Amino acid sequence: MEKYRQLNIKLTPQRLAILDYLRDNTNHPSAEDIFKAVKKKFPTMSFATVYNTLETLLNKGGIHELKIETGKKRYDYDVTPHHHIICIKCRKIVDLYKDYKIPLPDEITREFELINKTVEFYGTCRNCKKRH
Amino acid sequence: MEKYRQLNIKLTPQRLAILDYLRDNTNHPSAEDIFKAVKKKFPTMSFATVYNTLETLLNKGGIHELKIETGKKRYDYDVTPHHHIICIKCRKIVDLYKDYKIPLPDEITREFELINKTVEFYGTCRNCKKRH
DNA sequence: GTTTTTGACAAGAACGGTTCTAATCTGATA
DNA sequence: TATCAGATTAGAACCGTTCTTGTCAAAAAC
């Protein structure tokens, strides 16, 4: 796959499995989610490999790290700019592809060189709403 | 102080010290920041008390919890709605008092009952920029 | 005014996610 | 085939947070 090649890293079987899992599971999995899934294919898989691979991919810009939970990080294969809606009950995360132009006051732009922004919406999804 | 009274909790000396620290340190301190500072006044202070108090204050709506870092939570005495600009180098957080109206597409509002939103800007502050 | 009850505090253990360490393995290159 | 850098592994260490247990102090009940 083209994206894989662009990463310009050694594509070991473990790394491929991690990448494939991320590509096929767009529900923003955590390191543990990835570990559990990939361990089925590679029983000797360790957390170190998951974290090492994630860091390598991060540095190459192949994935995004979501800091939406405080307890654990979640990962996103989709690196095109987008925002998220998070269900505060089940922690489901839904993507939102919209480019919001949000003006910043001058006193901020004088003080900060802006790099990027995230907009996060919190609410309850229909499922969690039903079972009140 | 008026806000303290409105919290409607038993204002023990330890809790007062924590509240005072939060009121006087608007740099969004972490639990450890609070612990270290208040321990000077109460050498027997424990983390349990800090966390217990923070949770009580949270439940009473007296403070806000910022989930900007993944590793640790940070706390905000200011509960009026506002957003943040975060320096990716020194993790300084600056407040931004602006009420952005951000429209959500219908397919989202059908699926989610929106509760609130956060807008976070990331960049480098002038200080960190200087020492490139 | 003493006893009882309630809730806050303290110390440290436990926990969960992440990072580090040291040893081993793999695979590309010479 | 030998070399060597980099990847993998298992488990220890780490850090922030939560939990547990016992103690203490203030308020309520008697």
Q: Does the structure show a pLDDT above 80 at B24? A: yes
Range(s) of the domain holding residue B119: 83-130
Residue at a domain's end among B55, B76, B97:
B76
Task: Give the pLDDT confidence of B26-52 residue by residue, as tens digits.
Answer: 999 999 999 999 999 999 999 999 999
A113 with B123: Cβ contact below 8 A: yes
B8 touches strand C (CB under 7 A): no
Please count the structural domains in chain A: 2
How many other C-beta atoms are found inside a 10 Å radius of the C-beta of residue B107? 10
CATH code at position A23:
1.10.10.10
- Interval B13-32 mean pLDDT: 97
The encoded tokens of residue A55 equal 């860091």
User: Residue ranges of chain A with pLDDT lower than 50?
Assistant: none
The sign of the CA dihedral B78, B79, B81, B83 is positive
CB neighbour list of residue B24: distance below 8 Å, 6 or more residues apart: none
Task: Give the pLDDT confidence of B48-97 residue by residue, as tens digits.
Answer: 999 999 999 999 999 999 998 888 999 999 999 999 999 988 889 999 99
Q: Is A43 found in the same domain as A8?
A: yes
Q: Min CA distance, A70 vs chain B (Å)?
A: 5
Q: Is A72 found in the same domain as A7?
A: yes
Check residue B128 and give its pLDDT: 87
* Residues 52-71 on chain B lying near strand D, CB distance under 7 A: 55, 71
Q: Is A63 found in the same domain as A13?
A: yes
The encoded tokens of residue A45 equal 């898989």
The encoded tokens of residue B19 equal 């509240």
Task: Give the pLDDT confidence of B89-100 residue by residue, as tens digits.
Answer: 888 999 999 988
Q: Is A67 found in the same domain as A19?
A: yes
User: CB-CB: which of A70, A94, A123 is closest to B67?
Assistant: A70
B69 with A67: Cβ contact below 8 A: yes
- Pairing of the two strands A74-76 and A64-66: antiparallel
Are A111 and A96 in contact by the 8 Å Cβ rule? The answer is: no
Q: Is A104 found in the same domain as A62?
A: no
Q: Min CA distance, B69 vs chain A (Å)?
A: 7
The encoded tokens of residue B131 equal 């020492």
**Distance from residue B29's CA to nucleotide D18's C1', rounded to whole Å:** 19
